[in-house]
Amino acid sequence: MLGYHVSNILSPGVRHRSPELFFALHQGLNLFFILSGFLLFLGFADRLIDGRGLPSTRRYATNRVLRLWPAYVVVVAVTNFAFGLSFLGRGRTGHVDPGTFVADLTLLQTFSPHTIRTGLEVAWTLTVELTFYACLPVLVALASRVGRGLGGWARACIPVVVLALVGAAGLIWQDRTNPHGWSHDWESVASRSLLLHAQLFALGMVATLVFVAVRRGALSGAGRRILRFAASLVAVAAAVVCLTRPWSDVADLLAPLCLAALLLVSVVPTASGRPGWVGRALELPVLRGLGLISYSVYLWHMPVVRGFDRWAPRFGEGAWASYVVAVACVGGITLALATATYLAVERPAMRLRARNPVSSPDATKPPLPEERRLRGRVPETTG
């Protein structure tokens, strides 16, 4: 997402010189939501399949708040009061008024046409996440209740199907209305909500069910090999179509499928039981470290981009070298701010979460290697 926003604001020429790259960079958001669906549903899928008791809703909510808000509150406050870089609309930054600041701080700004996109521009995605946080335990509880007469796997599919249907309805509505997305109207509010992104979470949850089936021994070593090959083939084929027809309707549909397939390649072990090369790459110390601070990177990168846009307005314009330099500068400053935020805010909050474990029969079990490789990469992945 950092590279995408640099190209969109500081180096707009990249959009015209390489629409394929611009489209590929934009897929970070889809991956964000797909990973969220995969990792959060992991905590519920086994229980639905086995018909066991569900985790404490209170503890689930507390852990979600501790993961999402502490770093967000700090970044929003510093961006507004220290730097005056809160987004005001139409490319302008400054200090928001007290009422808008409260809406920004509570992640309610995206629910109103008057405050949509104010504060941190990426905060609308967190509002979508927050909505998913709230809906998931409700859907799981509903599935547990209405699916008592169903088999475990059918019961576990209920939340996935509901979210997929919501997403399909949203896409049909979008196709018929073609909302702008960033106007101050209710169409923009709807287009930046779970309505148009539920299918991405559902894709991640489908990957969860496949992963759980593999973990339970549903596939032999040869079966896992075939699954990994099929997922790789789907990912490559979808990527080729997307890069030959970027920004088309078919690319918008196939890009999430490509990412979900890559996710399966990453988490499904090989025939020998070892992680594949994607999974091993995620274990590299550099990537593990980046995973720990990735949430703060996500929060900080837009204020840094907007800072360059205000104080060095022509920075990043020109040839490819200018874009690379801009990405390096924005990335370096963002990494420094994100590291400080992680050490001072996120890590202490995680320690509080460690004292508030989810009550469940297997709460004390350590996460599997496949789960550990992905934890820390999105706000909802740790607990």
Q: What is the DSSP string of 36-93?
A: HHHHHHHHHHHHHHHTPPPPPHHHHHHHHHHHHHHHHHHHHHIIIIIS--EEEETTEE
Nearby residues of 112 by Cβ (< 8 Å), 6 or more positions away: 103, 189
Phi, psi of 319 (to 5 degrees): -75, -175
Instruction: Tell how far CA 174 is from the center of its chain.
Output: 21
Phi, psi of 271 (to 5 degrees): -60, -30
Written as six digits, the tokens of 330 are 């924005």
Give the strand pairing for 92-94 and 86-89: antiparallel
Q: 260 and 203 in contact (C-beta within 8 Å)?
A: yes
pLDDT at 361: 38
What is the rounded CA–CA span in Å between residue 304 and residue 75? 11
> What residues pair up with 93 in beta bridges, in sequence order?
87
Written as six digits, the tokens of 118 are 């104010």
Burial 232-246 (b: 16+ CB within 10 A, else e): bebbeebbebbbeeb
361 in helix, strand or coil?
A: coil
Q: 6 and 326 in contact (C-beta within 8 Å)?
A: yes
| Alpha helix segments (H runs only) across 178-267 | 186-191, 198-215, 221-244, 249-267
5 in helix, strand or coil?
A: helix
Instruction: Tell how far CA 196 is from the center of its chain.
Output: 14
Written as six digits, the tokens of 336 are 């420094």
Distance (Å) of CA 5 to CA 298, 301, 304 = 11, 8, 10
Instruction: Tell me the HSE value of 383 on the side-chain side, using a 13 A CA sphere.
Output: 24
pLDDT at 360: 42
pLDDT at 354: 63
The low-confidence residues of the chain, meaning pLDDT below 70, are 180, 354-383
pTM for the structure as a whole: 0.89
pLDDT at 218: 87
